[in-house]
Amino acid sequence: MPSPATEQGEHTLALWQGAWIAALVTGVIVWALIFWAVWRYRRRSDDEIPIQTRYNLPLEVFYTLAPIIMVIVFFSHTVRVQNIVLDDPTPDNTVEVVGQQWSWTFNYGLGEQDASANDELTDDEYAYDEYAYVSGTGSDIPTLVLPVNQTTRFNLYSPDVIHDFGVPAFLIKMDVIPGRVNHYQVTPKEIGTYAGKCYELCGVYHSRMLFNVEVVSEEDYAAYLEELEATGNTSDGPLIGGENADTQVGMTNEADEYAEGGAE
């Protein structure tokens, strides 16, 4: 496993390791019992019929309860880690991420954040009043800039097909589904550069859906946002693409213009 570059990743790694240890302990016990029974009760002569045992109640109770307890333990740890990784009600920043065929758009909020807008993700309320954005293309790999030691939440949008937003060093990836807003958050621990990509085969140029992640100091992050704002790529809401599958982020939806009698 890569060493996790985020605080949430440490929990993911611990869950993964714990699950492996539990599975191995169970496996060793089961294998030992199988080989012991095979050896202990092997047939010793051709005309021998082994003892036929039926209705061993304690054994039946044991092999019913033991797996149920194991499932409960796995499940509860999974939910605990999932809550840590997905549901921080008060992130320091929220970035609206769009996966579009075939690149990414990152909408950074400018000014004060109202994190309560994250309660209901499919409404038209967003955490900031103004956004600055970066939109990549198949030949221009975008960079996602994140502040170190701050919790950044990603809300994930797709205007076309299912993509999957992930950074290996963060030990997390998540589907980006049209009509649904998934989310997770990361708290990067160290300044550095990481590689991210789309993990869902999403069409011809799926392989070009790469992005870079740059984790920078808080001051550098603020400076980056100012720089981005100065480029004029700003809007009063995040660019999250149109409702139609053929609508690219940052472009008008031609179908709507036809409907209004606009474009030819």
The contact pattern for Cu ion, residues 152-171, with x = CB under 5 A and - = no contact, is -----------x--------
Residue for token pair 């984790």: 215
Residue 155 CB, shortest distance to Cu ion, in Å, is 17
Q: Is 156 or 202 the residue whose CB approaches Cu ion more closely?
A: 202
What DSSP assignment string belongs to 153-177? EEEEE-SSS-EEEEEGGGTEEEEE-
Closest distance to Cu ion from the beta carbon of 166 (Å): 11
Is residue 198 close enough to count as binding Cu ion by CB under 5 A? yes
Sheet with 143-147: strands ordered across? 143-147, 210-216, 192-198, 163-167, 172-176
Compute the least distance from the CB of residue 199 to Cu ion, in Å.
Answer: 8
| Inter-residue contact 127 to 117 (CB < 8 Å) | yes
Task: State which residue, 109 or 196, has the beta carbon closest to Cu ion.
Answer: 196
Binding letters toward Cu ion, positions 23-62, x by CB under 5 A = ----------------------------------------
Per-residue tokens: 109 = 């909020």
Nearest in space to 17 (alpha carbons), one of 62, 69, 81, 60? 81
Instruction: Give the residue with the Cβ less far from Cu ion, 64 or 139.
Output: 139
Instruction: Please select the residue that binds Cu ion; options are 202, 216, 228, 240, rule is CB under 5 A.
Output: 202
Number of residues that bind Cu ion (CB under 5 A): 4
The residues pairing with 175 across neighbouring beta strands, listed in sequence order, are 164
Among 145, 156, 209, 228, interactor with Cu ion by CB under 5 A: 209
- Within the chain, strands assigned E span 93-100, 103-110, 130-135, 143-147, 152-157, 163-167, 172-176, 182-186, 192-198, 210-216, 234-235
Chain residues that interact with Cu ion, rule: CB under 5 A: 163, 198, 202, 209
